[in-house]
């Protein structure tokens, strides 16, 4: 790190001081609040251990199932959802061919207000989807079932 950058670090104080952003972080009885001389001075608290353990478990699950199997399952579920909402009269705005697709299906209608549909799904049916740019968006994952998607499709107002 050049001198100019190091000077910026010394002149930019962290918002809080905690046990990890001081020079003697592991010396618990030494209450020396001298900040670390590097970017570590901005990391004042304990690492997000529960978050890191959750991430580890999630990655292990994905690796056990297999990335190819997850991808195949996502394509099957999102295709099933796209076909279902299309049959119901909605227009799918997400790309849906074999070359270009995602794990999210965005759809819309000109017959009903998207915000009203979103609110009704949440309040009356306890179905969680997203409302983005006046589009309804559902993002199933490999652990979701067709029955759950059927429940969503059935709860959508017909045209």
Question: What's this model's pTM, rounded to 2 decimal places?
Answer: 0.72
pLDDT in tens, 95-146: 998 889 999 999 999 999 999 999 999 999 999 999 999 999 999 999 999 9
From the number of C-beta atoms within 10 Å of its C-beta (0-12, 13-18, 19+), residue 152 rates as: buried
pLDDT band at 3 (very low <50, low <70, confident <90, very high): low
Residue 152 confidence (pLDDT) above 80: yes
The structural domains of the chain, ordered by start, are 1-46 (no CATH), 65-155 (3.90.1150.10)
pLDDT band at 4 (very low <50, low <70, confident <90, very high): low
Confirm if 146 and 138 have CB atoms less than 8 A apart: no
């Amino acid at each position: 790190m050049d001198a100019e950058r190091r000077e910026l670090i010394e002149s930019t104080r962290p918002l809080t001081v905690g046990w990890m952003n001081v020079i003697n972080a592991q010396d618990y009885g030494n209450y020396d609040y001298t900040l670390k001389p590097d970017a570590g001075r901005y990391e004042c608290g304990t690492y997000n251990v529960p978050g890191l353990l959750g991430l580890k478990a999630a990655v292990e699950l994905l690796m056990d199932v297999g990335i190819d199997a997850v991808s195949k399952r996502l394509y099957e579920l999102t295709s099933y959802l796209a076909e279902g909402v299309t049959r119901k009269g909605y227009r799918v705005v997400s790309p849906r061919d074999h070359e270009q697709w995602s794990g999210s299906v965005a759809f819309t209608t000109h017959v009903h207000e998207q915000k009203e549909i979103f609110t009704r799904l949440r309040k009356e049916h306890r179905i969680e989807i997203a409302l983005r740019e006046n589009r309804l968006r559902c993002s199933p994952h490999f652990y979701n079932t067709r029955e759950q998607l059927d429940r969503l499709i059935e709860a959508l107002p017909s045209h």
